[in-house]
Structure 1
Amino acid sequence: MSESPALSELLKDAPTNWGKWGPDDEVGALNYLTAEEVMRGISSVKSGRVFTLQRMIGDPKGDPVWPGRTPAVRTQILDESDWDEGGKGPDFPGGLHYADDKIEAFLQGSTQYDALGHLWFDGKIWNGHSADTTRGGLEKASIMPIANRGVVGRGILLDMARWRGKDSLDSAETFTHEDLMACAKDQGTEIAKRDIIIIRTNYMQQFHTKGDAFYENFCEPGLVYSPELVEWFQKMEIPNLATDSIANEVTFDPNTGVALTLHCALMRNLGIALTEICDLEELAADCAEDRQYTFMYAAAPLKVSKAAGTPVNPLAIK
């Protein structure tokens, strides 16, 4: 393949939402989730069944993380052994004992939201803010505005793996916005304006079956860039894209070789929030059984000052 184009060249004519919600905006397309959209999400609830979408941190089978990151490490600080051994456990009046623990983890090493300032090119993050505002922590477009706001609306599950008749999609397998619409149609529904799009690939199944080989020639399946796809996401006013993969899109574009093009075209340019590494298996099985693929989606990432992203446990309420 010839040398990959620069993102500045590839996306020079791509649409942006910079300035749409004012020069100081830090939540982007989540502005589409008005009170009316919250109520539309609530109106999707039919039975009250609740599904949590976070993958376990510290899974005995391993935690899938972006290459170069390490899984979370949980350390036990106090337990009953500290009192059994005498003198190590705190002495509280009345004889109370307790357990305490901590974790060391990448903030984007589990099910998580990206801050809009997480990724950039040409020295500009979301809304035209300078990339210099990321030095030492994000002063602009950190996770905090999203965490303070919260995310509630109508979610729609697009089960791409089942739609293609596979247990899981293959490495580097791609799909388009037209595939999303076709999948929705075959599921008996359609993607509506301002829906929160949730895509199942079940690619993490391969993390648990392949072991270390999962990271060899690493290229996840996912959406692939095209100008038409970006224009569709803008026209549909999509506020949030969530998937069960680590990076929400095909890692390296098979047409250009560019890495994570949609992080730039959708998140940096359009302000679409990205939610990654979701556990969609119970939700997907339930949707396949009752054929209800829309629901209320609610999420609030952890509030961490200046962070580029933080863990979240989203809810799908059917």
Structure 2
Amino acid sequence: MDAAAFRALYRRLRRDRPGGALTELTPERVAAAAREVRSGLRISLAAPVETAPGPDNPDPAQHRMTGALAGEVPDEGLDFARDRFAMNIHGDADSHLDALCHVVYDGTLYGGTDAAALTPAGAEALSVDLARDGIVGRGVLLDIPRLRRVPWLEPGEQVGAEELAAAEAAQQVRVGPGDLLFVRVGHRRRRAEVGPWESATARAGLHPGALEFLAERRVAVLGSDGNNDTAPARTEGVDFPVHVLAVHAMGVHLLDYLQFEELVPLCVRERRWSFLCVVAPLRLPRATGSPVNPIAVL
């Protein structure tokens, strides 16, 4: 996609709404999503947090014990095991939510907010605190490798709007207003079977034109087992076109690097690809995102 075509697509998709696309999650739609629960099965959509460095995770999370260590525990009386955890919110390995302040484009944030809102103390506008009450709605998983009859998409492959619609038809499900749309490209399965690679420069994802599908269906949240964008980027002058269109133009929160390998067999067994989904980001008032553990309830 050349620069002019991308700019035209950006203008078509731009929506300036306080709170972004989460406004699609009305109380009525949340209540309807609760009726998706039939079997009561629960499954995490997050990958385990990793503390070992790798080609796609050079600066991993840090976890260390700070109390009640082996050899220091008293023989009598009370003590407590204690530990400390630190991580980068954004990266190419851990599951996380992107806040609306995450993407800076043409010197602004979503809705034309001045990027000066990003201060040394944190984001003074559009932080992850917008989602402090949780993101609860109807989740829909579209499995693109299943549609293509392959185990995963290879790095660099893209998913367009027509393929999202084809996956809907094949899975007999339809994405609607306020839905949390999850697109599986098989990133996690490939990583598990082939091993980690430098996914910052090579990964499967969505074609920018696929965002027209999201706009038409009025999706509230977009998530993937990759980071939603394809690498290398094929959009002139923009390395992360899906992030720009989703977050900056449409106000759609993104969920990056989820995992669906445990959810897929449940969906196949239950013969349904929609479910109640609950996402609870941490209360980090000025943060640009949050680690998350989304829960699907079938």
* TM-score, normalised relative to structure 1: 0.84
Equivalent residues in 2 for 1:122-141, closer than 5 Å = 122-136=106-120, 137-141=122-126
Q: Percent identity, aligned pairs only?
A: 27
Matching of residue 74 in structure 1 with residue 63 in structure 2:
yes
Looking at structure 1, the residues matched to 263 and 44 of structure 2 have their Cα atoms a distance apart, in angstroms, of 8
Give 2:81's match in structure 1, choosing from 87, 90, 99: 99
Tell whether the 8 Å contact from 1:223 to 1:250 is kept in structure 2 after alignment. yes
RMSD: 2.6
Q: Which runs of 5+ in 1 are unaligned?
A: none
Q: Is the alpha carbon distance of 1:157 and 1:311 closer, same or farther for their aligned partners in structure 2, counting shifts above 3 Å?
A: same
Q: Is the alpha carbon distance of 1:192 and 1:225 closer, same or farther for their aligned partners in structure 2, counting shifts above 3 Å?
A: same
Partner of 1:221: 204
* Residue identity matched to 1:128: G
Could you give the per-residue CA deviations for residues 187-232 of structure 1, whole angstroms, max 9, x where no partner exists? 12222232210111221233344446x1178221111112xx3333
Matched residues, number: 295
The structural deviation recorded for 1:150 is: 1.2
Partner of 2:41: 49
Tell whether the 8 Å contact from 1:144 to 1:304 is kept in structure 2 after alignment. yes
SS of residue paired to 1:281: coil
* Residue identity matched to 1:142: S
* Residue identity matched to 1:48: G
Matching of residue 231 in structure 1 with residue 212 in structure 2:
yes
Q: Is the alpha carbon distance of 1:309 and 1:38 closer, same or farther for their aligned partners in structure 2, counting shifts above 3 Å?
A: same
SS of residue paired to 2:125: coil
The structural deviation recorded for 1:171 is: 0.3
Equivalent residues in 2 for 1:179-190, closer than 5 Å = 179-190=163-174
SS of residue paired to 2:32: helix
Tell whether the 8 Å contact from 1:14 to 1:265 is kept in structure 2 after alignment. no
Partner of 1:281: 261
Looking at structure 1, the residues matched to 66 and 156 of structure 2 have their Cα atoms a distance apart, in angstroms, of 42
The structure whose Rg is larger is: 1
Tell whether the 8 Å contact from 1:188 to 1:291 is kept in structure 2 after alignment. no
Looking at structure 2, the residues matched to 119 and 107 of structure 1 have their Cα atoms a distance apart, in angstroms, of 14
Tell whether the 8 Å contact from 1:7 to 1:121 is kept in structure 2 after alignment. no
Could you give the per-residue CA deviations for residues 3-52 of structure 1, whole angstroms, max 9, x where no partner exists? x748984656333111x3xxxx2x30000000111012111111111111
* Residue identity matched to 1:77: T
Looking at structure 2, the residues matched to 123 and 160 of structure 1 have their Cα atoms a distance apart, in angstroms, of 35
* Residue identity matched to 1:139: E
Could you give the per-residue CA deviations for residues 119-172 of structure 1, whole angstroms, max 9, x where no partner exists? 1211110111101111211100011111x2311111111111222111111001
Give 1:39's match in structure 2, choosing from 31, 38, 52: 31
Q: Is the alpha carbon distance of 1:77 and 1:7 closer, same or farther for their aligned partners in structure 2, counting shifts above 3 Å?
A: farther
Q: Which runs of 5+ in 2 are unaligned?
A: none
Looking at structure 2, the residues matched to 168 and 277 of structure 1 have their Cα atoms a distance apart, in angstroms, of 14
Could you give the per-residue CA deviations for residues 227-280 of structure 1, whole angstroms, max 9, x where no partner exists? xx33332221110001111x2121333353631101111111110110111121
Looking at structure 2, the residues matched to 12 and 162 of structure 1 have their Cα atoms a distance apart, in angstroms, of 30
Equivalent residues in 2 for 1:109-188, closer than 5 Å = 109=91, 110-136=94-120, 137-146=122-131, 148-188=132-172
* TM-score, normalised relative to structure 2: 0.90
Q: Is the alpha carbon distance of 1:83 and 1:6 closer, same or farther for their aligned partners in structure 2, counting shifts above 3 Å?
A: farther
Which deviates further from its counterpart, 124-133 or 230-239?
230-239
Give 1:244's match in structure 2, choosing from 225, 249, 271: 225
Tell whether the 8 Å contact from 1:54 to 1:278 is kept in structure 2 after alignment. yes
